[in-house]
């Protein structure tokens, strides 16, 4: 199984898991649920339990991740610094760049889904126990800060792929 299929099914698993946890937990929650957490991961903002607030996180997660998966069908809409250079390459030279971007979109969708899943779990645990392990705060921080090296890696990798493709095109043009 290739990387794209694995990431796709991991995303589907995360979406199903957040809905399963959410649907399973709503009835057993107290009337007050946390809506904000302090830097130690402890609830410090509360709201009345409402289906709208509680189901909003899995709904938004499902919507955003579905849009990311749908957006993969239209890679020409991606916005990245070397886009003009990629579009001017022959289609065969563009393919590895679009495939790399496809993997990155799936990875972004997976990380986004995990962030929403951990947040929903924090809300459920905070509502049931009035406190949660600080580990969840660290996970949220890692998931949030984890985007920075991912984006840097993506930009560097795209740059090297574009450079290699342009070199191959120039070489094939001078070979004739």
Run of H or E residues at 165: helix 147-174
pTM: 0.85
* Domain regions of the chain by residue span: 3-169
Which residues neighbour 131 within 8 Å (Cβ) at sequence distance 6 or greater?
A: 42, 43
Tell whether the model's pLDDT for residue 96 goes beyond 60.
yes
Looking at residue 113, what is its pLDDT? 94
Give percent above pLDDT 90 in the chain.
40
Q: In the predicted model, is pLDDT for residue 176 greater than 70?
A: no
The per-residue pLDDT for range 3-22, each reduced to its tens digit, is 899 999 999 999 999 999 99
Average pLDDT, the chain: 88
Segments in 1-146 forming alpha helices (H): 3-25, 51-71, 83-87, 91-129, 135-145
Kindly state the tokens that stand for 138.
């660290």
Q: Is the pLDDT of residue 174 over 70?
A: no
pLDDT at 34 over 70: yes
Supply the DSSP symbol for 36: E
Q: What local confidence, expressed as pLDDT, does residue 173 receive?
A: 58
> Which value, in Å, is the radius of gyration of the alpha carbons in the chain?
21
Note whether 33 and 47 are within 8 A (CB): yes
User: How distant, in Å, are the alpha carbons of 84, 91, 98 from that of 76?
Assistant: 10, 12, 9
- Give which of 112, 90, 49, 104 is closest to 172, Cα–Cα: 90
Instruction: Give the residue-averaged pLDDT of 21-40.
Output: 89
pLDDT higher than 90, residue 175: no
* Each residue's pLDDT tens digit, 62-90: 999 999 999 988 888 888 888 899 998 99
Q: How confident is the model at residue 155 (pLDDT cuts 50, 70, 90)?
A: confident
| pLDDT on residue 77 | 87
Structure confidence at residue 116 as a pLDDT band (50, 70, 90)? very high
């Amino acid at each position: 199984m290739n990387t794209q299929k694995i990431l796709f099914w991991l995303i589907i698993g995360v979406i199903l898991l957040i809905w399963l946890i959410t649907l399973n937990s709503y009835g057993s929650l107290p009337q007050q649920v946390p809506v904000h957490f302090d830097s130690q991961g402890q609830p410090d903002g509360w709201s009345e339990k409402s289906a709208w607030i509680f189901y909003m996180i899995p709904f938004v997660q499902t919507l955003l991740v579905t849009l990311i998966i749908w957006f993969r069908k239209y890679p020409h809409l991606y916005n990245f610094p070397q886009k003009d250079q990629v579009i001017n390459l022959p289609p065969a030279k563009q393919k590895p760049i679009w495939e790399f971007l496809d993997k990155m979109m799936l990875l972004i969708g997976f990380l986004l889904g995990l962030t929403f899943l951990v947040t929903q779990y924090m809300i459920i645990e905070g509502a049931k126990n009035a406190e949660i392990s600080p580990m969840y705060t660290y996970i949220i921080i890692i998931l949030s800060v984890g985007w920075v090296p991912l984006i840097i890696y993506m930009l560097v990798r795209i740059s090297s792929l574009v450079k290699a493709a342009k070199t191959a095109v120039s070489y094939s043009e001078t070979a004739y």
